[in-house]
Amino acid sequence: MTAQTTARTAARPVEPAAQAWRADPYSDAVRTGRGPLFLRRSDGWLLPLDVERWCAEADAADSTVLARCEGPVLDIGCGPGRLVAALTRLGQPVLGVDVAPEAVARTVRTGGSALCRSVFDPLPSEGRWGTVLLIDGNIGIGGDPGALLRRASRLAAPGGTLLVEVATVDVDERVEVHVEDGNGGRGTPFPWARLGTGALRAQAADAGWTRAVPWRAAGRAFVQLRR
């Protein structure tokens, strides 16, 4: 894969979850680099989304992820592209994938390479990625962690690495959420999931991932897995 920047729209119809991330509250926040932005559950519970951190340079906790990357790297749900940009500067072959056009556009502006596509769409180099990333809670994509982990297994090379950011508490939930900005703007509902370290280990084993190695950095929690 070359370092040439690429942006492409998926050919198949947009899934409800993908449509939600294309909604104005999320797109506006990514465009401006500012929140507030939240995921709201149907019972009213709010999960703040750290847009400012996503749109900034990779931080100290991110550096612990970057240090574990073995190229080439696929960043699923790359968002505004801070990890793609950081890996590009380090000389690592890397591709970001995101369903939000504004996120892909911002990744491209930072000098990264990204596709506007769902992880469940056909992707380049399937079965040959040295590292697959699911950072910033992206284990929740699609609301079915088992399906996402199996998909990641098909994307990774034999012996490849999966790096997952998990919840800092012991949780295993499947919920319906929507994105909102706290000022009346909101997206359409879509399925989401949250996993802590224990729940991820159980799901990962069933999806063919082994050798779980957890670590923490700057108040965030991660797990490294091997295919």
Cα–Cα dist 75/131, whole Å = 8
Residue 151 pLDDT greater than 90, yes or no: yes
Residue 20 pLDDT greater than 60, yes or no: no
Alpha-helix residue ranges (DSSP H) falling in the chain? 16-21, 24-32, 51-54, 60-66, 82-89, 101-109, 145-155, 197-206
pLDDT at 184: 86
Residue 103 pLDDT greater than 70, yes or no: yes
Structural domains in the chain plus CATH codes: 57-175+191-226 (3.40.50.150)
Query: In which order are the strands placed within the sheet that holds 156-166?
Result: 114-116, 94-98, 73-76, 129-134, 156-166, 220-226, 210-217
Residue 76 pLDDT greater than 60, yes or no: yes
Q: What is the pLDDT of residues 35-73, one digit of tens each?
A: 999 999 989 899 999 999 999 999 999 999 999 999 899
DSSP state of 15: P
pLDDT at 12: 39
